Amino acid sequence: MKVNDEILFDGILIRLIGVPPDEINNRNLVAIDKTGKALWTIEGLSVDGHDSPFVGIEGVANRLIGYNRDGLRVEIDTKSGDIF
């Protein structure tokens, strides 16, 4: 498992997992607490259900933003992993 990016947000480590080209995984964002316990894994998100993993994350004005391969930009609740 290759980690492409990590961001510490609200005391929670958000980890973007790399997805090899020959693998389908649209749930490649995970949140980890201070003890190393996984809190949530993001639900897959794509325009028409095809392969579109998350490719970027960033913190913007106290919000966690995720981007997927389709170019969708979403806000993510760091406590639950819910997409707004």
The pLDDT, as a whole number, for residue 47 is 64
User: Domain ranges in the chain?
Assistant: 3-76
Per-residue model confidence as pLDDT tens for the chain (84 residues): 799 999 998 899 999 999 988 888 889 999 999 999 999 999 887 667 678 899 999 998 889 999 998 888 999 999 999 998
Q: Cβ distance 31 to 40 under 8 Å?
A: yes
Ranges assigned E (strand) in the chain? 3-9, 12-17, 29-32, 38-41, 54-60, 63-68, 73-76
* pLDDT score for 46: 64
pLDDT for the residue 32: 96
Token representation of residue 16:
């973007």
First to last CA, the chain: 27
